[in-house]
Amino acid sequence: MKHAQRLPLDWLVPAARPDDLTAIETTLIDPGSYLGERVAGNLKRLNDVDLEARLAGFRNRPGEHPWIGEHIGKWLHAASITWTNTGDAKLRARLDYAASALIATQEPNGYLGTYAVEKRFGAYPEADWDVWSHKYCIIGLLAYYRATGADEALRCARRAADLIVSTFSGPSGRKALLGAGTHMGMAATSILEPMVLLYRHTAERRYFAFAEEILVTWDEQGGPRVLSTLLETGRVSEVGNGKAYEMLSNILGLVEFARVLGNDAHLAAAIRAWDDVVAHHLYITGTASFGEHFHNQNELPDSTSVNMGETCVTVTWLQLTLALLGLTGETRFAEEVERTTFNQLPGAQLRDGSAWCYYVPLHGYRNYGSGITCCISSGPRGMALVPGSILWTDRAASELIVAQYQSARAVVRLGGQDVTVSIDTIVPYRGDAKVTFTMMAEAKFGLRLRKPRWAAGFRVMGTDAVDEGGWVRIAPRIFRSGETLTIRFDIGQRKIEGTAWNAGRVAMSWGPLVLAYQSEDKAPSTFDSIDPRGAPLDFSTPHAENSWSVLNPLGPAGRRAVRISSFAEIGPRSHDYKVWIDREPTAPRLSVFHGAVERLSSGDLARGSASDYDRFTFAATDKNYEQSWFALEAAAPVTFSRVEFTHGRSLIHGGWFDASQSKPEIQIRETSSAEWRTIARIEGYPETDAEHDGGLKPGQTFVVGLPSPVTATGLRVRGTGSFGEYPPGRFATCGELQAFS
């Protein structure tokens, strides 16, 4: 398809509540800068993605997995934003091809999914993401339309939306929307966002009427009660089943709805959700949720084993925060954009853009991939938004806003003319920035510069600047071509004190960068604490790595040498890293199986451990195995009279032992070649079954006293796994397995 570029397209339906700030999406980041490297890698990734694999499920229905339909829409979204930003010719050719190919697969009735006819728009086994996939196809097509003006893309999106409306809307609707998506319907109702966007593009009232129906649908029997819960309690953990990605997608749609309708209550509900996440569910690196759900307030386990930091959540959180920044102009949103884009988002991406992570923990390891998963498709969407997070204008285009500090350049309409704005800085490595203006004639405009919370001594040289709500404002005045503003501030090492879940621990940072450390030796990091004699840190050069030390009573001379790097760049190494460290040393209480080889009936021990002395990290067996066990095997016989088993965590799909037939067993074997034999059962284990965990708490420990000491080389706990809400596959978790004399 060949189209004349017409960017930006005007909305046919203006917002009743217009944005306070407008992002300059065409900002070009210096590819040598911290974020510029990542953005450049993202462009390469988008140009290298296998489009045929993402189109195959549409060309030959049904597709190979339930949500295969979301990936081409996500790619179109990311690539359209990136082409708008870069004008890359190769990417434009791929965009035109992908959009044309997707449009060609649309059925006459408007269907744009990947399921067989008999399994469409319902909760069928392995076919329950149809509305969700349509959502992403429509989002991708609308992004392509906004970037290129391709009317075919808008028509395709409308036909798909019309089918959704006719299938689910009002008395004539043949199906219930809640029943067409997982997680209490939140997967399906997240189509709210593109329905509102379609209304704004077309002025067709039926799309907005359907969006209004979605808000009512939330409160139907068994529904997630998104809006009503947020208005009543403001707690995201009480919305639906707490599934973070789908919930945030719904809240993002609620923001779009509030923008069009101008309803303060709707916007207030979205902001209450955002506030709750920041106060109680946000990790220091700028992501939220673990196990893909919001749990209890202030519960922030951060290891690989709890599946924290889902990249889909990170990206949707960034989208929501950027939307609220634009609507309100408040610096608190800009601060969180920075936290995410400097830490969690690049931490999910290999620097060259070739691979992304599904989960990015604060403690553990990262598994990078380049195939087709929801998160590998989401990550590039988040990185595509980064250039548009730096420069903004106010509603009247009379003020330039600098929200992030990176070397970048953009042409911005200010004071009635085009002004080339250039930022020169080496943040996050060292402080200071210069902003230079180039234009045909002098222009009058104001400036709003974000004063970062980490920046020391922030001042704008030679101007009368006013500190106002986190922004430093310069009143409108005449600027001449070539004029440069110099901003002075210092960047350095900071210690961040942990609170609530992380009370008694500290983390290290350098300016906006969260730092993480790792060691080559095998001493349990559970016993690490701050070394008061640790060397000062210096991250004033790109990709710096510092030698550091921590106290550890099991290390040589009570301490051990570690390497410390930025959180984003420590991930590709294969061994454990950590962000939080104890303030005070902990005296070790060592099991007689200290240093033993750890085994389990199935699964990957790299994701967690039952012998690391940390009851909030855990090993987990694979699903689809009824019997689960966790074992320790010592090199020589050890004697003990007490066994302690610590439950790992109950997850929505299982993770505990099913005790309906028999309590979990404690088994030993005297030699490595002997048979395992049962010596006790965990009689204090609650009355559980495959679906219910009996009130087990994360890290709950059960002590089994033996009638007399036993000597063995092997110890294991064994039982029947559970499946929670997702039968039939069963599995179990183990936080710790220890024995004492």
d(CA 666, CA 738): 11
Please give the structure tokens belonging to residue 242: 């707490």
How many CA atoms lie within 13 Å of 548's alpha carbon, on the beta-carbon side? Answer: 26
Helices within 386-486 (DSSP H only): none
The pLDDT of 275-295, averaged and rounded, is: 97
Average pLDDT over residues 228-250: 98
R_g of the chain computed on alpha carbons: 27
Could you tell me the pTM of the whole model?
0.96
Exposed, middle or buried, 126 (CB in 10 Å: 0-12/13-18/19+)?
A: exposed
Per-residue pLDDT band at 725 (split at 50, 70, 90): confident
Question: Sorting pLDDT into bands at 50, 70 and 90, what band is 631?
Answer: very high
What mean pLDDT comes out for the span 1-24?
A: 76
Omega before 728 within 30 of 0, i.e. cis: yes
Residue 71, both tokens: 């990936």
d(CA 382, CA 404): 16
Residues 422-446 pLDDT 10s: 999 999 999 999 999 999 999 999 9
Mean pLDDT of the chain: 95
Per-residue confidence band for 469, with pLDDT thresholds at 50, 70 and 90: confident
> Which residues are bridge partners to 559 per DSSP?
551
What is each CA distance from 730 to 314, 397, 620, 694, 727, in whole angstroms? 29, 58, 11, 16, 7
> Which pairs with CB-CB distance under 8 Å and at least 24 residues apart come from 534-539?
536/493, 537/493, 537/508, 537/510, 537/564, 539/428, 539/429, 539/493, 539/510, 539/511, 539/513, 539/515, 539/566
pLDDT at 172 over 90: no
pLDDT of residue 574: 63
51-90 pLDDT tens trace: 999 999 999 999 999 999 999 999 999 999 999 999 999 9
Q: Is the separation of the CB atoms in 227 and 287 below 8 Å?
A: no
* End-to-end alpha carbon distance in the chain: 76
Q: Check if the beta carbon of residue 438 is closer than 8 Å to that of residue 449.
A: no
Give the pLDDT score at 6. 45
* pLDDT at residue 5 greater than cutoff 80: no
**How many angstroms separate the CA atoms of 203 and 617, rounded?**
52
Closest CA to 153 of 200, 191, 201: 201
Which segments of 363-470 does DSSP mark as H helices, in order?
374-385
Residues pairing with 710 in the sheet: 640
Q: Which residues on neighbouring strands pair with residue 438, listed in sequence order?
A: 420
State the amino acid at position 637 in one-letter form.
P
* Residue 173 confidence (pLDDT): 64
Query: Is 2 a residue whose pLDDT tops 60?
Result: no
Token pair belonging to 272: 């209450």
Question: Can you tell me which residue has the tokens 């970037």?
Answer: 147
**Of residues 553, 522, 548, the one with CA closest to residue 536:** 548
Contact 329, 468 (CB under 8 A): no
Q: Which of 405-409, 581-585, 724-728 has the lowest mean pLDDT?
A: 724-728
User: Of the candidates 380, 355, 379, 381, which has an alpha carbon nearest to the alpha carbon of residue 369?
Assistant: 355
Whole-angstrom distance, CA of residue 393 vs CA of residue 24: 7
Instruction: Kindly tell me if the per-residue pLDDT of 696 is higher than 70.
Output: yes
Q: In the chain, pLDDT over 70 holds for what percent of residues?
A: 98
Per-residue model confidence (pLDDT) at position 156 = 98
pLDDT of 534 reads 83
Cα gap 36→126, rounded to integer Å: 40
Distance of alpha carbon 138 from alpha carbon 140, whole angstroms? 5
pLDDT surpasses 50 at 107: yes
| 131, 169, 652 from 160: Cα distances, Å | 10, 14, 33
Residues in the chain: 741
Query: Mean pLDDT, to the nearest integer, of 97-107?
Result: 98
- DSSP code, position 277: I
Q: SS3 of 220, please?
A: coil
Average pLDDT over residues 552-560: 90
pLDDT bracket for residue 625 (50, 70, 90): confident
Q: Which of 282, 194, 265, 181 is nearest to 227 (CA)?
A: 265
Q: Report strand pairing: 399-402 vs 443-450.
A: parallel
DSSP state of 71: H
Task: Summarize the confidence of residues 378-385 as an average pLDDT.
Answer: 98
Check residue 8 and give its pLDDT: 57
460 beta partners: 487
Is a pLDDT exceeding 80 seen at residue 522?
no
pLDDT above 50: residue 4: no
Euclidean distance between CA atoms 81 and 83, whole angstroms:
6
Model pLDDT, residue 338: 98
The dihedral formed by the CA atoms of 684, 690, 692 and 694, expressed in degrees to the nearest 10: 0
Rounded-to-integer distance, Cα 715 and Cα 739, Å: 8
**Whole-number Å distance between alpha carbons of 561 and 501:** 27
Maximum Cα interatomic distance, the chain, rounded to a whole number of Å: 92
pLDDT in tens, 481-516: 999 999 999 999 999 999 999 999 999 999 999 999
pLDDT digits 0-9 by tens, 652-694: 889 999 999 999 999 999 999 999 999 999 999 999 999 999 9
Residue 48 predicted with pLDDT over 90: yes
Give me the pLDDT at residue 486, please. Answer: 98
Whether residue 8 is preceded by a cis peptide bond, meaning omega within 30 degrees of 0, is yes
Determine which of 302-306, 347-351, 606-610, 719-723 has the lowest per-residue pLDDT on average: 606-610
- CA-to-CA separations, 275 to 20, 237, 299, 320, 356, in angstroms, rounded: 19, 13, 16, 12, 28
Residue partners of 106: CB distance under 8 A and separation at least 6: 112, 156, 159, 160
